[in-house]
Amino acid sequence: MFARRIAIDLGTANTVVWVAGKGIVMNEPTVVAMGAEDGRVVAVGLEAKEMLGRTPGNIVASRPMRDGVIADYAVTEAMLRYFIQKVCGRVFLFKPEVMICVPAGVTQVERRAVLDATLSAGAKVAYLIDEPLAAAIGAKIPIAAASGNMIMDIGGGSAEAAVISLGGVVVHKSVRVAGNKIDEAIATYLRRKYNLLVGETTAEGVKLKIGSAIVLEKLEEMEVKGRDNVTGLPRAVTITSTEITEAIRPTLLAIIGAAKGVLEETPPELASDIIDKGIVMSGGTSNLRHLDRLMTELTGVPCHVTEDALLCVVRGTGVALENIDLYKRSIVKR
C-alpha cells in the first residue's frame, strides 16, 4: 500500500506520466541526450529535444522509441529510470507498480523488451495494456458493454484502429505510419521541390503551423529556413498550406487505410453500432487540422476527435491501473 502506482504512455514523440492520487505529473518529448563516452544521461524530455541536431561530438541526442516500439533498449531503460526517480525520489523504500501501454500490433519480443526495461528501471511489478484499449478507457467509452465502439489512436510512431466490445479488442490493425512520417513527408517535399534541407524539428513546426488534411479555404503561408542542398549555404523559402496538404496526403491515406481495414473485418452486428456512434479519434496526431473531416469523407463513418486527445491514452492507463481487477483479462503482468 506504500508503493506508488505509476502509469506511463511511452510514446514515440511524447511520454506522459500519471501517478495514482495526483493525475498527470509529466508530459515530455521522448528524447534522451547521453554522453558519448560514459553513457551518462545529460538531459531528458524538452531540454533534450532542443538539443536534437545541435549536439557537439561528445553528446548524442536520440529518440529511443521508433514506430511505437523500443529501438534502443539501453536508452529507453535510462529514460524510464529517470521518470521513475523523478516521481519517487532518488532513494525509495518501496518499488513502484508501473503500467505501460504498447501498440496492439507489437510482437511478443517487443512486449517482453518493454516489460524487462520497466523492471530494470526500478519497478516492482510491470503491467502492459494495449494502447487502443487504454485510449478507449481514457475517452470514457463504455467498453464493457455488449456493443461495438471503434477507436483510432494516431500517435507519433504508429496509428492503430480497433473495434472494442465486452472489454476486449475484437478487430485491430496497426500501421507504423503516424506523426513522424508526416514530418518526414514535409522534409522530403522541401528537399525535392526547393532543394532545401530541414531538420525534423523544423518539419514538425511547419506541420503544426500550416498543416491541414484538406485544402484550406484561406491560403496560409510560412517562411521556412534550412540549408541549400546545392550551394550548402543557409536559405529561406516561403511555402503555402496547400503545398503541405499535397505533401502529406499519401501518408494520411496510409493512416486512414488502417481504419478501412478494420471496418472491412468488423462483424456486421458491431458495424451497425459503429455507424450509429461513429469513430472516436485520439492521440496527438489526430489534432491535425481537418483530419477528422478527411476521415469521415473517405470512410463514410462520422469521426470526432476526443477532448485532450494527447492525454487520452495515459488517462485510460491510469484508470486501468487503479481498477486492475476489472481489466485483468486485458493486462499482461510481469
**Known binding-site positions:** 12-14, 156-158, 204-207
Quick count: other Cβ atoms within 10 Å of Cβ 94?
Answer: 11
Shortest CA distance to 29 belongs to which of 81, 101, 83, 73? 83
Length of the chain counted residue by residue = 334
Residue with cell 516492482: 124
Give dist(CA 83, CA 7) in Å, integer.
11
CA gap 2, 160 in Å, rounded: 36
What are the cell numbers at 295? Answer: 476521415
SS3 content of the chain, % helix, strand, coil (to 5): 40, 30, 30
Burial of 60 (0-12, 13-18, 19+ CB in 10 A): middle
Task: Confirm if 32 and 48 have CB atoms less than 8 A apart.
Answer: yes
261: enclosing H helix or E strand: helix 241-265
Nearest-angstrom CA–CA distance, 249 and 235: 26
- Binding site, annotated residues for ATP: 12-14, 156-158, 204-207
Task: Give CA 58 to chain center in angstroms.
Answer: 29
Dig out the grid coordinates for 96 from the structure: 513502484
Of 247, 255, 258, 265, which Cα lies nearest the Cα of 286?
255
If you ran DSSP here, which 8-state letter would residue 91 be given? S
Q: Find where cell 508530459 sits.
A: 27
d(CA 162, CA 285): 17
The C-alpha cell that represents 220 in the structure block:
496560409
